[in-house]
Amino acid sequence: MKKIILILLFLSGSLLFAQQKEWSQLMGLLQKEAAYFEDKSGFIQLGKSDHNTFTIEKNTVSDSLIVFGIRVRDRFGNENSERYVEETIVLEPEPIIISAEIYYDFSFYFEDFPDAQFLRLEFDEEFPMIDQVINIYKDPKTDEEDRNQIEDTTNRILLPIRVKSREKILNAVDEYQRGSLKPRLDDDRTH
């Protein structure tokens, strides 16, 4: 009996280590994309926002935290303000990915679309992640700033990725699912 318990403990520890390794590999790929897109600019579809250009000023990904900061402006000079939005998402340990998809219907896009796209990861709603958003509105005429901060929860992450990295990223999601979801599905069949 002791041997069986020891074997089960060893196997569960091995699965957890493999899952953490796969999660770290996925986050590493997303961090490479984040570094590439930092300081990149793009456009916002006309009629979908008061602003129509954006610049990614901060973009970091780690195993436990995602920070995405953008500055939006009006390229035609019609809007008398600019806005900086910074979103910080605290990731759950061992998150459960529900879906991973290329999000084509996003109002933000890059000039080199479709070579640069947005990846949307959706996580289990039962384990929401802390989502802190800071908005800073700036009037360029007076340099006056209006700042507000909101804290909520989310189960979605949206990140820019390059098409050339898409296959590696989606394969890393599959590997993570193989280590996290597949054992639960296998266990489900045996009960």
- Convert the pLDDT of each residue in 109-153 to its tens digit: 999 999 999 999 999 999 999 999 999 988 777 888 899 999 999
- In the chain, DSSP assigns E strands to 41-44, 53-61, 65-73, 82-90, 97-102, 108-109, 116-123, 129-139, 144-154, 156-162
For residue 77, is it left (φ>0), alpha (ψ between -120 and 50) or beta? left
pTM value? 0.81
Closest by Cα among 27, 41, 138, 24 to 80: 138
- DSSP SS3 for 143: coil
Say what the pLDDT of residue 128 is. Answer: 93
